[in-house]
Structure 1
Amino acid sequence: MKWIYPLLANRSFLLLLLVINFAGTVYGYVWYGWQLKETPPIFLIFVPDSPTASLFFVFVLVAFLLKKNWPLMESLAMVTLFKYGIWAVVMNSLVFIIQGELDWIGLMLALSHFAMAVQALLYAPFYRFKWWHLLITAIWTLHNDVIDYVFFMLPRYHMLDNFIPQIGYFTFWLSIVSVGIGYYFVIRPKRFKLDLY
């Protein structure tokens, strides 16, 4: 697996990822546009979960290209990319189970969000965040769950409305697992650390 790290550290590849993630972030905010119009201003920052996750990673990639680390952005990116990447795959899988089909948009969302989760993990050896960055990230992530499932600011999947309590429970534990992954892959190990420069 170590063969992939020189590719991940390559500036041309980082630029390509930056373009892809920036475009995906813009698309994500546009996709949430109709829901954002109905969202009270106090909740606006907490509604577009996936594009905000990829925006965190855009900042990480910019820092890498500048030969720097931005640890808080790295922590936020890793945890939220993994969480919302897996969340969207599971939600679109549920849509397929309930409806018996998944349109091309749902398939595209599932595949692109799976890629979000994968890139979060692939760059783990390059991250430099500490436990207190992860603590801030955990507070952000769990607070977001409260906003979504107590104040009902979650992404709208109308065909899944009957399962919101179960989805909220799943999402809470997915947040815990995502924070745990940040700890396991970045803070806990005495494993190898890689530099991009």
Structure 2
Amino acid sequence: MPEFRTRRIDVKAAVLPWSRDFLTNRTILWLLFIVNTLGTLYGYYWYGNQMAYTVETQSAWQVVFVPDSPTASLFFTLSLLFLLFPRLSGSGTVGLTVRSIIEALGVVTSIKYGIWAVTMIMAGGAQGDQLQWEHYMLIVSHLGMAFEAMLFVRYMVFGRFMAFLALLWLLLNDTIDYTFFVFPWLPDVLENDLSAIQTFTMGLSVFSLLITWLLIAYRKV
């Protein structure tokens, strides 16, 4: 496992916000951890009505597949803990495997749902859905999800196989979503585009894996 050490430097001295010195600074990591934690909690609150509706009208087990973005954010938030406290995973095989699975899920799902949410909001707006300030807030936050996931791949320990397992989870989630209609509620103007959205969603799952694999290859270089 590559050794990872967080940096204790003056943040003001870091010129580039995507540099190692900046991203691995403990102040930055703690700030991202707090922001992602709050965003995750807000995300589950945002999905609260749909989760309650799913439990009341469908099988309770399906509720797991409803809050896509918050769950992705949760995995990435846990991944930040491993960067802050590398010894959490220990040095054994089991600990490293658990860490790798969480990191892979955090990266692949954050890329997928970050892009997906922005695309759905913009598609709805293009077809006449009235965008409110909440929509623009969601656009910024979901772009942040995808961007930060791609930035931090190089500091994580998971490899291509774990990323592939994350894809399998995404495809399972997609299948459940569009078989039992527990996908995130869409703007009314997109209801007639459900078939195209399903195809786009599953294709985006594969695309997110390919992006992650490319980033892993860049990490090794």
Superposed pair shares fold, TM > 0.5 = yes
Give the CA deviation at 1:184: 1.3
The match for 1:42 is 61
Work out which structure has the larger RCO, using CA pairs closer than 8 Å and 6 or more positions apart in sequence.
Answer: 1
Q: TM-score, normalised by structure 1?
A: 0.91
- Residue identity opposite 1:105 in structure 2: E
Matched, 1:80 2:109: yes
| Structure 1 alignment gaps of length 5 or more | 193-197
The match for 1:57 is 76
Alpha-carbon distance between aligned partners in 1 of 2:68 and 2:20, rounded to the nearest angstrom: 28
Match of 1:137 among 161, 166, 183: 166
Alpha-carbon distance between aligned partners in 2 of 1:28 and 1:180, rounded to the nearest angstrom: 26
Give aligned-pair identity as a percent.
39
Alpha-carbon distance between aligned partners in 1 of 2:160 and 2:78, rounded to the nearest angstrom: 20
- Residue identity opposite 2:195 in structure 1: P
- Residue identity opposite 2:150 in structure 1: L
**RMSD value, Cα:** 1.6
Matched, 1:23 2:38: yes
Give the CA deviation at 1:59: 0.6
Alpha-carbon distance between aligned partners in 1 of 2:110 and 2:62, rounded to the nearest angstrom: 20
Matched, 1:170 2:200: yes
Give the CA deviation at 1:3: 5.8
Give the CA deviation at 1:29: 0.2
- Structure number with greater Rg is 2
Match of 2:141 among 112, 126, 135: 112
Match of 1:33 among 35, 48, 51: 48
Seen in structure 2, the aligned counterparts of structure 1 residues 103 and 73 have a Cα distance that, compared at 3 Å, is same
Contact 2:124 / 2:187 at 8 angstroms: preserved in 1?
A: no
The match for 2:25 is 10
Give the CA deviation at 1:7: 0.9
- Residue identity opposite 1:94 in structure 2: A
The match for 1:185 is 215
The match for 1:195 is none
Moved over 3 A (4+): 188-192
Give the CA deviation at 1:167: 0.5
Seen in structure 2, the aligned counterparts of structure 1 residues 100 and 53 have a Cα distance that, compared at 3 Å, is closer
Match of 1:103 among 125, 128, 132: 132
- Residue identity opposite 2:30 in structure 1: L
Alpha-carbon distance between aligned partners in 2 of 1:157 and 1:127, rounded to the nearest angstrom: 34
Give the CA deviation at 1:149: 1.2
Alpha-carbon distance between aligned partners in 1 of 2:219 and 2:138, rounded to the nearest angstrom: 35
Encode CA deviations 1:44-85: one digit per residue, 9 max, x unaligned: 111100000000011101111112562111110110000000
Give the CA deviation at 1:189: 4.1
Give the CA deviation at 1:135: 2.5
